[in-house]
C-alpha cells in the first residue's frame, strides 16, 4: 500500500528510489566539491606543498574515488529502499 505525502503524491517504490537517489547524488557531489576545495585551500595556504600538475591529478583522483565509492556502495541504499517500500 502506498503512502500519501503532504502534497498527496503517492510514494511508490519508484518515487522513493528517485527521491533518495537524487539526494544521495547531491550529497556526494557536495562531498566532492568540499573535499577538493579543502585540498586547494590547504595548498594555497602552504599547509600542503604540491605543484599545480600534481594538484590537478590529486583532485581528479579524489573525484574519481568518491564516484567509485558511490557506485560500489549504492547497492546498500537500493536494498534499504526495497525494505522500506516492502514494509510500508
Asked if the structure places residue 75 within a domain, the reply is yes
Residue 32: inside a domain: yes
Q: Are 32 and 63 in contact (CB under 8 A)?
A: yes
Whole-model pTM: value is 0.76
Structural domain contains residue 7: no
Q: Domain of 53?
A: 12-42+49-86
Q: pLDDT for 6-54, tens place per residue? A: 554 577 888 888 999 999 999 999 999 999 999 999 999 999 999 999 9
DSSP state of 10: E
Residue 58 CB partners (closer than 8 Å, separation 6+): 39, 50
Model confidence pLDDT, tens digit, residues 49-86? 999 999 999 999 999 999 999 999 999 999 988 888 88
Q: Report how many domains make up the chain.
A: 1
In a domain, 3, yes or no: no
Q: Dig out the grid coordinates for 66 from the structure.
A: 568518491
Instruction: Decide if 70 is inside a domain.
Output: yes
Position 82 in a domain: yes
Amino acid at each position: 500500500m502506498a503512502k500519501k505525502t503532504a502534497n498527496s503524491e503517492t510514494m511508490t517504490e519508484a518515487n522513493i528510489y528517485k527521491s533518495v537517489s537524487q539526494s544521495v547524488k547531491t550529497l556526494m557531489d557536495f562531498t566532492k566539491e568540499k573535499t577538493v576545495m579543502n585540498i586547494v585551500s590547504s595548498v594555497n595556504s602552504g599547509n600542503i606543498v604540491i605543484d599545480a600538475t600534481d594538484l590537478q591529478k590529486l583532485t581528479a583522483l579524489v573525484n574519481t574515488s568518491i564516484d567509485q565509492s558511490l557506485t560500489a556502495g549504492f547497492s546498500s541504499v537500493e536494498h534499504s529502499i526495497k525494505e522500506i517500500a516492502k514494509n510500508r
